Amino acid sequence: MGRYLLTALRVSLLTIVLVGVLYPLLITGLGQLCFPFQANGSLLTTGGTLRGSALIGQPFSAPGYFHPRPSAAGAGYDPLSSGGSNLGPTSQVLHDRVAADVAQARTDNPGLDTVPADMVTTSASGLDPDISPANAYAQAARVAQARGVPAMDITALVTRCVTGRQWGFLGEPRVNVVHLNQALDAAYGATGR
Partner 1 sequence: MIWGIAQLVLFFAVIAALTKPIGLYMARVYAGERTWLDPVLRPVERLTYRLAGIDPEREMRWTSYTLALLAFSVVSAFLLYLLLRLQGVLPLNPAHVPGMPSDLAFNTAVSFVSNTNWQAYAGEQAASYLTQMAGFAWHNFMSAAAGLAIAVALMRGLTRHTAQEIGNFWVDLVRSVLYILLPISILLALVLISQGVIQNFAPYHTATTLTGTTQVLPMGPVASQEAIKELGTNGGGFFNANSSHPFENPTPLSNLLEMLAIFLLPAGLTYTFGRFAKDQRQGWALFIAMALLFACGLAVIYGYEQAGNPVLAKLGVEQHLSALQPGGNMEGKEVRFGIANSALFATITTDTSCGAVNSMHDSFTPLAGGMAMLNIAFGEVVFGGVGSGFFGIIIFAILAVFIAGLMVGRTPEYLGKKIESKEMKMAMLYVLISAASILGFSALAVMLPAGLAGRLNAGPHGLSEILYAYTSGTGNNGSAFAGISANTPFYNLTIGLAMLIGRFLTIVPLLAIAGSLGAKKTVPATSGTFPTTGGLFVGLLVGVILIVGALTFFPAYALGPVVEHFLMHAGRLW
Least distance to partner 1, CB of residue 177, Å: 10
Considering only the stretches 29-37, 139-147, 149-157, report the one whose residues sit in contact with partner 1 under the rule CB under 8 A. 29-37
Touching partner 1, residues 152-191 (CB under 8 A): 165-167, 169-174, 178, 181-182, 185, 190
Coil/strand/helix, residue 170? strand
Least distance to partner 1, CB of residue 116, Å: 5
Q: Does 145 bind partner 1 (CB under 8 A)?
A: no
Indicate the burial class of 33 (C-beta count within 10 angstroms; 0-12, 13-18, 19 or more): exposed
Nearer to partner 1 by Cβ, of 56 and 144: the residue is 56
Q: Site map for partner 1, 48-87, x if CB under 8 A?
A: -xxxxxxxxxxxxxx--x---x---x---xxxxxxxxxxx
Residues 183, 76: Cα–Cα separation, whole Å: 22
Query: Distance between alpha carbon 89 and the CA centroid of its chain, in Å?
Result: 23
Residues 165, 176: Cα–Cα separation, whole Å: 13
